[in-house]
Structure formats: structure tokens, C-alpha cells
């Protein structure tokens, strides 16, 4: 079953023709943006001279930091009145990275997501309960539009509110859910707590996402919930969810190559690696009007699966993400860099130089603990004052990283001193 059989099963030569044509268009649009105008000029890139896909290598990489310094709209390639949507993810030093979409971009994105959902066997007969966050985060709205495009009835629940989630699954017969793996495990326990056997609820399928998880966790969710759980891949810089999607064979994720040109590079040298070798995924968005992005360093490690897939789709599959080439953490679905936390802490005079970030999973939910040493000179002997300090730190952190960490005040000198690269992050979650 395909959403667009012609495009999904197109031969490689045909696919590459589409890629080149779209790349050229994206390059001429990109050349009009302040950011790429400068990059192309500084690196002697003439979009008119990009006549084969092999020339893509002449274009410099784009990084998350490039998106940040282009804040708010340095990469926008269309007039403001053509933009209908923006999303944003938290940035490394306070400024978010923002992505813009035209009407066509939103529509194309919905098609792309619908394509992935159909590849897993979802049909208009399904009721889709979306338990992913709505808002600036792309996860909720991304699948929402895709499922609507496909023709499912969509229940836009967003996260949390577990009792209502269960009630709506029962009352409206939800068959497909979109959920973070940690919340899926929590939900299973809650359902059991109500004396219901989770498989009896009738949910058939879950799209997992927004946080790292192991195959073991997927197996556990499938078994305990009695459903099929699917991996997919995406990030806001590349629209959001739906960049790559598993098909029913659950063996790698088809990356929609008429939307993206994907490369796997050696993260050290930046050189392209042969098909099948593991490296960093680099993506060029060739199907977005508002904001073309060329050779984006995803920092995600994966490899292409060169063999053809029995489902008949010709778009190459990538393996589940193995890890990252930077220190980004994903906590409750939110991307957090340790440097963001450090910046906040170091702006609070009561905090000493040492801190630790500890990630735990309690009742299947992520918890972030931040341990900070109290700075002796700022201690005035009052409990109230320390409670206020904790509250102030919590609020300052939440403003930047959007999640609420638990703050623990420690005596000065109780953490190992920061010598060179002190280990700051302790991820104790068993994924």
C-alpha cells in the first residue's frame, strides 16, 4: 500500500532527476537569503554552476549554530506574506532555531508524513490519537496534519492527562497513537492500574518519537500494549517528524529522497562515506520554499541500508540513530545542551563553579536533576533564602530549556573540581 506509488517506487535515475531539478530551484531560492548570499559569496559557490548532484559537495555545510545566528529570519527565501507557519526549537545559548513554512510547505510536509503513515498500514479507517506535544515543537502538529491529509479522524490530545487519554481511546476507538516511548510505558501501567488489559483497548499501532529509545524498549511497548510500534526520524530543521519512516517490515527507515538529499559523512573530515558505512547524516532540504537548508549537519549517527526493501519503495533506508556527534541530550522529548544549563547557572551569583546534570527515569518519565554547589560567600544562613534561590534557578532554567529540573543544593567542594573536561552529565536512564 502506497500513498504515492509513482514517487515512492520511482527508479533511482528518475529520483535523481527530481533531486537535481529541485536542488537547482532550492539553490536559486537560497541564494536570495541573507545567510546563503554571504556563504555562497565567501566560498565562491555559483548556484548556476551546480549542474550535477555531485556538485553538492561544493556547498559548505550548514550547522545548528548557523540557524541560530540567522535568527529570526536570515534564511527566509520568500516574502513574509507567503509564510503561514513557524516552529521553533530551543537553541544552545538562549536563542531558538526557527523554521518557516509557506502554505505549500505545510501541505508537502503533510503529504510526506501521510506517506510514512501509509507505509505502516494506516488508513482513513483509523482513529489517530496524537499524544505528542502541540505548539512550537513540530512533533504534535507534524503528525496531526499528516494524519488529517491521510483521512484519519484525529484526536489532538497533546501530552499528559492520562485518564482522559485512556477514556478517549475507549470512547472513540483510537487505533493509532503517537507517543513518546517513556509515556507509552507509563500509559500501559496506568491502563493496568484501572484493571484493564492494555491489548483489550484495541489500539493497533504506535508511532514512537521525540526521544531516544532502544529496540528493547520498542519490543517492550509492543508486547505490553499488544501493538505494532514504529520508528521514524525527523527534526524541526528539516520540517519536523516524517523525514524518514519505517514501513511494515520494520527494518530501517525510508528517507524520502524526493524531499531530501541525504549524505553520510565522516564527522571528523567531512568527507562522504560509501553507502553502508556509519557516519553523520547530512541533509539538504530540496522541497521547502520558505527556508531551503543545504547540507545540514544533523549530528546524528547512522548508515544507509544499501539493499532494496521488500516493500518496493526505492527511497533508501537509514538505520535507527546510533548516537550523536555532539553532547545534545534529549529529555522528555526536548533537545537540551549542557552549555544551555551552564550559561544559566553561571549567571546566578550564589552558584559555585561546579555542577552536575543527572538524568534519571522514574516511572518511565524522564527526570533531570541539577546538582549545584552553593557558593560560600553568598550564604547568609537562611533556609527561606535557599528555597528562593532554588526557585529562581528553576525558573531561569525552565525559561531556557522548557523543562523543570529538580535542583539540589550541595555543600561547596562536594562535587569533583572542574579540571579540563569535567564530566558534567550523568545519564542514568536505561533506554
Partner 1 sequence: MPHQVSVFAENRPGKIERITGVLMRKNIDIRAITISDSGDYGIVKLLVDRPQEAVDALKEDGIAASLRDIVAIRVNDKPGGLHEVASILTKNDVNVEDAYGFIVERKKDAVFVFQVQDVRRTEKLLSEAGFTILSDGELYLL
What is the contact surface with partner 1 in residues (CB under 8 A)?
Answer: 374-376, 379-383, 386-387, 408-414
Find the angle CA(415)-CA(326)-CA(285) to the nearest 5 degrees: 150
Residue 347 in 3-state DSSP? coil
Retrieve residue 272's grid coordinates.
562522504
Contact 242, 258 (CB under 8 A): no
Nearer to partner 1, 381 or 420 (CB): 381
Minimum CB separation from partner 1 for residue 371, in Å? 10
Which residue's CB is nearer to partner 1, number 61 or number 379? 379
Question: Of 80 and 380, which CB lies nearer to partner 1 in the complex structure?
Answer: 380
Closer to partner 1 at the Cβ: 113 or 372?
372
**CB closer to partner 1 out of 123 and 376:** 376
On whether the CB atoms of residues 297 and 63 are closer than 8 A, the answer is yes
Number of H helices, E strands in the chain: 11, 22
Give me the helix-helix angle, 338-346 and 383-401, nearest 10°.
140
Which residue number, 5 or 376, has a Cβ lying nearer to partner 1?
A: 376
CB of 59 to partner 1, least distance (A): 52
What's the closest the beta carbon of residue 345 comes to partner 1, in angstroms? 17
| Nearest approach, Cβ of residue 407 and partner 1 (Å) | 9
Q: How far is residue 109's CA from residue 85's CA, in Å, rounded to a whole number? A: 12
Nearest to 297 by CA among 348, 332, 331, 263: 263
Is the CB of residue 295 less than 8 Å from the CB of residue 59? yes
To the nearest whole angstrom, how small is the minimum distance from the Cβ of residue 402 to partner 1?
Answer: 24
> Which of residues 44 and 381 has its CB atom nearest to partner 1 in the complex?
381
Kindly give, in sequence order, each residue whose CB lies less than 8 Å from that of residue 101, ignoring residues fewer than 6 positions away: 83, 84, 85, 86, 87, 109, 239, 288, 290, 291
When the beta carbons of 312 and 413 are compared against partner 1, the nearer one is 413
Cβ of residue 340: shortest distance to partner 1, in angstroms? 24
In whole angstroms, the minimum distance from the beta carbon of 380 to partner 1 comes to 5
Q: Residue 133 and residue 92: Cα distance in Å, rounded?
A: 21
CB of 426 to partner 1, least distance (A): 17
Residues 6+ apart with CB under 8 A from 189: 363, 364
* CB neighbourhood size of 217 (10 A): 20
Backbone angles phi, psi at 409, to 5 degrees: -90, 130
Kindly state the DSSP code that residue 275 receives in the 8-state scheme.
T
Q: How far is CA 170 from CA 75, 201, 202, 222, 344, in A?
A: 45, 6, 8, 19, 44
Smallest distance from partner 1 to CB 158, Å? 32
* Contacts of residue 86, Cβ cutoff 8 Å, sequence gap at least 6: 98, 99, 100, 101
Minimum Å gap between C-beta 354 and partner 1 is: 12
Residue closer to partner 1 by CB (options 80, 384) is: 384
The nearer residue to partner 1, 67 or 372, going by C-beta atoms, is: 372
Amino acid at each position: 500500500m502506497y500513498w504515492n506509488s509513482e514517487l515512492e517506487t520511482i527508479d533511482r535515475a528518475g529520483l535523481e532527476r527530481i533531486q537535481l531539478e529541485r536542488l537547482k530551484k532550492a539553490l536559486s531560492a537560497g541564494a536570495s537569503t541573507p545567510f546563503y548570499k554571504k556563504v555562497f559569496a565567501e566560498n565562491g559557490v555559483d548556484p548556476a554552476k551546480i549542474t550535477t548532484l555531485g556538485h553538492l559537495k561544493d556547498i559548505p555545510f550548514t550547522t545548528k549554530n548557523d540557524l541560530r545566528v540567522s535568527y529570526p529570519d536570515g534564511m527566509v527565501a520568500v516574502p513574509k506574506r507567503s509564510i503561514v507557519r513557524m516552529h521553533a526549537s530551543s537553541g544552545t545559548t538562549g536563542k531558538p532555531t526557527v523554521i518557516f513554512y509557506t502554505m505549500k510547505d505545510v501541505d508537502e510536509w503533510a503529504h510526506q508524513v501521510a506517506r510514512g503513515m501509509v507505509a505502516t498500514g494506516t488508513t482513513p479507517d483509523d482513529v489517530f490519537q496524537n499524544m505528542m506535544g502541540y505548539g512550537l515543537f513540530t512533533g504534535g502538529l507534524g503528525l496531526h496534519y499528516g494524519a488529517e491529509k491521510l483521512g484519519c479522524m484525529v484526536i489532538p490530545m497533546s501530552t499528559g492527562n492520562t485518564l482522559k487519554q485512556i477514556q478517549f481511546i475507549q470512547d472513540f476507538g483510537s487505533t493509532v497513537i503517537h507517543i513518546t516511548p517513556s509515556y507509552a510505558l507509563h500509559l500501559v501501567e496506568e491502563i493496568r492500574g484501572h484493571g484493564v488489559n492494555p491489548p483489550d483497548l484495541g489500539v493497533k499501532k504506535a508511532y514512537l518519537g521525540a526521544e531516544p529509545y532502544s529496540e528493547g524498549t520498542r519490543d517492550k511497548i509492543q508486547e505490553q500494549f499488544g501493538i505494532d510500534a514504529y520508528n521514524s526520524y525527523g527534526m524541526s530543521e528539516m520540517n519536523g517528524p516524517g523525514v524518514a519512516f519505517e514501513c511494515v517490515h520494520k527494518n530501517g527507515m525510508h528517507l524520502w529522497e524526493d524531499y531530501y538529499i541525504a549524505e553520510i559523512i565522516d564527522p571528523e573530515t567531512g568527507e562522504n562515506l560509501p553507502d553502508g558505512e556509519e557516519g553523520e547524516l547530512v541533509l539538504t532540504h530540496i522541497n521547502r520554499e520558505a527556508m531551503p537548508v543545504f547540507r545540514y549537519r544533523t549530528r546524528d549517527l547512522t548508515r544507509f541500508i544499501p539493499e532494496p526493501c521488500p516493500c518496493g519503495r526505492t527511497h533508501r533506508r537509514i538505520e535507527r540513530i546510533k548516537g550523536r556527534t555532539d553532547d545534545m541530550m534529549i529529555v522528555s522529548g526536548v533537545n537540551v545542551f549542557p552549555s544551555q544549563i551552564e550559561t544559566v547557572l553561571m549567571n546566578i551569583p550564589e552558584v559555585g563553579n561546579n555542577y552536575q546534570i543527572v538524568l534519571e527515569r522514574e516511572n518511565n518519565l524522564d527526570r533531570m536533576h541539577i546538582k549545584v554547589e552553593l557558593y560560600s560567600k553568598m550564604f547568609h544562613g537562611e533556609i527561606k533564602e535557599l528555597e528562593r534561590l532554588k526557585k529562581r534557578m528553576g525558573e531561569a532554567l525552565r525559561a531556557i530549556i522548557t523543562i523543570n529540573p529538580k535542583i539540589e543544593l550541595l555543600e561547596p567542594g562536594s562535587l569533583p573540581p572542574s579540571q579540563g573536561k569535567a564530566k558534567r552529565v550523568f545519564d542514568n536512564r536505561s533506554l
